[in-house]
Structure 1
Amino acid sequence: MSADPLIDSLLAAVGGRPDDLPLRLHLAGLLLDAGRGGEAIAQIGQALARDPGNNQAQSLMQRALGTPAPEARAARPPAPRAAPAGPTPPGDDPLAAYEQELADVVPPRFARAGDEPEPVVGDADRVYDVESATVRLADVGGMTAVKERLELAFLGPLRNPELRRMYGKSLRGGLMLYGPPGCGKTFLARAVAGEMGAKFLSLSIVDVLDMWIGNSERNLHELFEAARRNAPCVLFLDEVDALGHKRSQASSSSMRTLGNQLLAELDGMEGSNEGVFVLAATNTPWDVDPALRRPGRLDRVVLVLPPDAEARAAILEYHLRERPIANIDLRKVVVATEDFSGADLAHLCETAAEFAMADSVRTGEVRMIEQRDLERALKEVRPSTRPWLSTARNVAIFANEGGVYDDLVAYLKRRKLL
């Protein structure tokens, strides 16, 4: 049998038995004999990852990298030289040579001086940005019902420690904010942290997901640990539907495992969650795993709606206050912006400012932002909440099991959308 068919057969066998090191190393030797050094190094690297001290694998790696074997080095008389003042340079160590060559595949065998990070001291955190929120609920326009719910769930017990102890109310819990995009869910979470005088830690899917098996779960655990170290802390799970998607619909086992890890962290199985307030936000609560909403986890669900007339007026005033304006009929703009989210209103003001600035550039005469600019902007900027409301209407009609979305049903009925 020729070498290549034999190698092909061994490659197939190793694929079926990846932990069979003698078979893998035999294949590596044949690859070296066939001049296929790159493939041989990959096979040897896999063997060393499983058994770093394997002498046969080390010998094959030295051969693959062109490093003299230990016996050959011992046979040569050493050249006279002065004793080194410090540690042996990496270039004089054959194992260090192929360790450096395979740094992206095989982790180093030993930690070197200086590799160990300094311990975390006080409120400092090595990996994650733990903020001190500066906004308060008074900075949030409107949302009276949402503020009352937050006062009942979190803020009241924190301000009244004696009553909290008497009633046995724990300083832990979770609440899920849902509603159309751009309506201030993230800003509201920061305001809650500021109102409590607590730290704020925001978690998104990109902070968690990792290509290597097990790393995503570890990242999630470390984020919760950072929140526990900095308690009292508001841990904000942004787009929780991505992180805690329905496990029955998960496209991979890794996402189901990640969902299980999130449930364990919320239950405090990996550490006490006392003083950790979990706020989650999503635009699609119907995609969130029902297990996340059971009592003791994200058991309170609050609808964050598009801003009402009072809130729209406050948001427009905020975005226009540092711009040159004249003769603005704010009441008329408020009436014309029903269903606009906070982000839509900010975009409306930005667009009106662009029209006024373009006119000033064209005429060479600087002028104020006027009512006509806002009315022109209203013809271009459309409320982004309407597609969400259309989807939410179907959910309210066909998927309101257990009355989870009763507040959404009431809102749609008030708006005569249901």
Structure 2
Amino acid sequence: MSDVSPLIQSLRTAVEAAPGDVPLRLHLAGLLLDAGQQDDAVTQVAVALQHAPGDGQAKALMVRAMSNSPAQTPPSVLPSAPATPPTEPGPGNTFNWGAAADQVKDVLPPRFVEEPLATDGSGDPEGAPAWDVDAPGTVRLADVGGMQEVKDRLDAAFLAPLRNPELRKLYGKSLRGGLLLYGPPGCGKTFVARAVAGELGASFLSVSVNDVLDMWIGNSERNMHELFETARRQAPCVVFLDELDALGGKRSRTQSAGMRNTVNQLLTELDGVDAAANEGVFVLAATNVPWDVDIALRRPGRFDRTLLVLPPDAPAREAILRYHLRDRPIEKVDLGKLVKMTDGLSGADLAHLCESAAETALLDSVRTGVVRMIGMKDLLGAAKQTVPSSEPWFASARNVAMYANDGGMYDDLVAYLKKRRKL
């Protein structure tokens, strides 16, 4: 049998069509061995072992292929016991799999690029960064359409003291502090946080609950400490804690000692080891349910300032619609009319509206066979079908504003609900 054997050629074609079919690839490898083509056989078996590392037939074929290729195989690789290899390598088999792997290492890329963690979840690869810190970005508050009240509050809380160091020194204003952004989902809290980092010329470290919580006891607290240590080294740095209610929920409501310890660690990091430990570290957090955040996180010196981020106003809706329509084929779109029709929709709702309008035009083009542009009819139809996703949030927030507004914590929410006649 030779390399031009019709059977081998057919099997090569079949394997190329189904690269994950291990039995088919091993059958080809066996025929190649019978034809005296050990190198090709080794390649085929190596690919099979990548798909099925524990396959006994593949291991036996590898032993056979390497044993039949003494000119290319180091003596240490060859079996030193019986001349006929066992079909399944066992304890008595002295075949050197490490040397065999070295010989075929250039055939396939490594299956893993990092060393696995230890069984206790520790042991990050040496030199690997624990947290990805984004360099100062180009997004500024000017890139946030509308939302002037939000911008004014942010300027007073963070930006004005930074821009006026002499006045800050005169009045003893520290650069420490935290700001809690709250409001209905999909209204741009993360984008606002990035804009603040851009205004400060600061690095940006975004943290979610999945980045911190760990199944191993003590690791969650360690992760929390390491992220703040990273921010201190990268100062000025904005730390953005997304879903703060999950990371810092009320300890009285949780039965998990691990979660309570994580909240305690967060409180410790916010206070800093000493008065200057967190200088230049700006902590922003976002939540949809601020009333579920532990009260200790809301005391002065921590997240003592809150900012309500509401569904976009008219200028913001126009900017969002322009952004999501910028690369789509549109004609005769009256943005002014569309902005009026979309009052109350969140940024995520507006993105969905544009997607739905594009889908309508696409399906119509498929049915008729004539490609057409996205028009006002598509956008208005999508607007009528889009229900504001923030309504359930306001239904819950209304009860909080009416019965749990202790100390005027949610006065801005009360004012908005009265303005919208929802209270």
The two structures have a TM-score, normalised by structure 1, of 0.70
Distance 1:162 1:347, change over 3 A: same
- Where does residue 129 of structure 1 map in the other structure? 132
CA separation in 1, counterparts of 2:194 and 2:287? Answer: 15
- Which AA in structure 1 matches 2:126? P
Counterpart Cα distance in 1 of 2:120 and 2:312: 54
Report the alpha carbon displacement of residue 201 of structure 1 after superposing the two structures with TM.
0.1
CA offset digits 1:175-209 (Å, max 9, x no partner): 00000000000000000001111000001110111
Name the residue aligned to 1:296.
Answer: 301
Question: In the superposition, relative to structure 1, how do residues 158 and 380 fare at CA in structure 2: closer, same or farther (>3 Å)?
Answer: same
What do residues 19-71 of structure 1 show as CA deviations (whole Å, max 9, x unaligned)? Answer: xxxxxxxxxxxxxxxxxxxxxxxxxxxxxxxxxxxxxxxxxxxxxxxxxxxxx
In structure 2, the partner of 1:117 is 126
Alignment of 1:366-381 (within 5 A): 366-381=371-386
* Whole-Å separation in 2 of the counterparts to 1:205 and 1:314: 31
With over 3 angstroms needed to count, the CA separation of the structure-2 counterparts of 1:380 and 1:166, relative to structure 1, is same
Distance 1:391 1:358 in 2: 38
Q: Residue 398 in 1 paired to residue 407 in 2?
A: no
For 1:117, the aligned partner's letter is E
2:367 counterpart (335, 359, 362): 362
Corresponding residue SS for 1:219 = helix
Match in the other structure for 1:239: 243
1:273 aligns with 2:278: yes
Structure-2 residue corresponding to 1:61: none
Please state whether the residue corresponding to 2:159 is helix, strand or coil. Answer: helix
Aligned partner of residue 179 in structure 2, secondary structure: strand
Distance 1:106 1:205 in 2: 20
CA positional deviation for 1:106 = 8.2
Return the alpha-carbon distance in structure 2 between the equivalents of residues 107 and 206 of structure 1. 14
Local SS of the residue matching 1:345 = helix
Hey, what's the Cα distance between the residues in 1 that align with 2:119 and 2:272? 35
User: What letter is aligned with 2:329?
Assistant: P
Which of these residues, 286, 307, 312, is aligned with residue 307 of structure 1?
Answer: 312
Deviations, residues 308-356 of structure 1 (Å, cap 9, x unaligned)? 1121111111111221111212222112212100011011011101111
Q: Deviations over 1:269-318 (max 9, x none)?
A: 38810100000000000000111010000110000000111211111111
Paired AA for residue 133 in structure 2: V
Report the Cα offset of residue 105 of structure 1.
Answer: 5.4
Which of 311, 318, 323 is equivalent to 2:328? 323
Summarize the alignment of residues 47-62 of structure 1 with structure 2, pairs less than 5 Å apart. none
Q: CA RMSD in A?
A: 2.0
**Corresponding position: 1:214 with 2:218:** yes
Matched, 1:184 2:188: yes
Alpha-carbon distance between aligned partners in 1 of 2:126 and 2:248, rounded to the nearest angstrom = 32
- Per-residue CA deviations over 1:336-394 (Å, capped at 9, x if unaligned) read 21210001101101110111111112212111100111122123321100000111111
Correspondent of 2:162 among 158, 169, 181? 158
Mapped to 1, the partners of 2:181 and 2:205 lie a distance apart of 16
Which of 167, 172, 178 matches 1:174? 178
Q: Secondary structure at the match of 2:328?
A: coil
Does residue 385 in structure 1 map to residue 394 in structure 2? no
**Is 1:225 aligned to residue 229 of structure 2?**
yes
Instruction: Tell me which residue corresponds to 1:23.
Output: none
* Structure 2 SS opposite 1:274: coil
For 1:398 and 1:351, locate their aligned partners in 2 and report how far apart those are by CA, in whole Å: 39
Segments of structure 2 that go 5 or more residues without pairing to the other structure are: 1-116
TM-score (norm 2): 0.69
Runs of 4+ in structure 1 deviating by more than 3 angstroms, as ranges, are 103-108
2:199 equivalent in structure 1: 195
Q: Deviations over 1:244-264 (max 9, x none)?
A: 001111131111111111000
2:263 maps to what in 1? 259
Matches within 5 A, 1:37-76: none
**Aligned partner letter, 1:384:** S
Question: CA separation in 2, counterparts of 1:192 and 1:236?
Answer: 10
Report the secondary structure of 2:231's partner residue.
helix
How many pairs are equivalent?
A: 305
Question: Shift in Å at residue 107 of structure 1?
Answer: 10
Contact 2:242–2:285 (8 Å) recurs in 1: yes
Structure 1 letter corresponding to 2:369:
G
Q: For structure 1, which runs of at least 5 residues remain unmatched after alignment?
A: 1-102, 119-124
Q: Cα gap change, 1:378/1:107 in structure 2, threshold over 3 Å: closer, same or farther? A: closer
Whole-angstrom distance in 2 between the partners of 1:373 and 1:349: 9
What CA distance in whole angstroms lies between the structure 1 residues aligned with 2:168 and 2:118?
A: 53
Per-residue CA distance 1:121-156 (angstroms, 9 max, x = gap):
xxxx81211002221101101111111111111111
How far, CA to CA, are the matches of 1:116 and 1:194 in structure 2? 31
Counterpart Cα distance in 2 of 1:342 and 1:281: 16
- The alignment partner of 2:337 has SS state of helix
CA contact (8 A) 2:357 2:381 kept: yes
